[in-house]
Copies of this chain bind each other. A is one copy, B any other.
């Protein structure tokens, strides 16, 4: 019988934000796949290791999945990674792919899953805490109540239309464009708070737009209202 590929969300950084289900699943699996060449510097692996030390005894399938906007390079790396997983599924081995935050929200797991399913194999998703929930908790803030809408916007693309939406806007991965993002928020007369590297060692919190610096890391998340 062919193996199953599990997508496992490990949450945004704090290992205690992993779910009981994710911990159990990792314990039960023999093969763990990560979107990185080196587990020692792979964020999702390092989070999981703190909650499930036994992960060190498992085989680690290190998939090279560089972050790039070059569509052809992306397609090729997703294809090669999926093929490496499929080779194990064919042997009847289950594979658990670790992903930062939740597995259904902006995870590279989606690309692997598409190909793995197309080739006739089964997948299962194990939810993780999304970064925007953890960032709100870190700030002791509610994101939305009652009839408010919540909009999750990948801020490395354009944001000017999104900022005009009613309700609360979460700008994900805003780090690289932070200057332009701040400018646009100001122009719309909105306020913002920011968490950089939520739940990680290098976490930093900014409680107003004015506090937000001119440079910020990739894992920077703004809550705008």
Q: Which A residues are within 8 Å of any B CB, using their own CB? A: 9, 11, 14-21, 23-24, 51, 102-107, 109-111, 113, 123-130, 133-134, 136-137, 140-154, 156-157, 162, 165
Question: What's the Cα separation between A159 and B133 when bound, in Å?
Answer: 23
Kindly provide the distance from the CB of A3 to the nearest chain B CB, expressed in whole angstroms.
15
- Give every chain B residue within 8 A of A20 (Cβ-Cβ): 15-20, 23, 51
Q: Smallest CB-CB separation from A168: which chain B residue?
A: B152
Most chain B beta-carbon contacts within 10 A, residue among A109, A127, A133, A144: A127
B127–A17 CB distance below 8 A: yes
A145 — which chain B residues lie within 8 A by C-beta?
A: 106-107, 110-111
Nearest-CB residue, chain B, relative to A24: B16
Q: How far, in whole Å, are A191 and B92 apart by their CA atoms in the complex?
A: 35
Find out whether the CB atom of A149 lies under 8 angstroms from the CB atom of B129. no
How far apart are the CA atoms of A143 and B103 in the complex, in Å? Answer: 9
Of B102, B136, B156, the residue contacting A133 (CB under 8 A) is B102
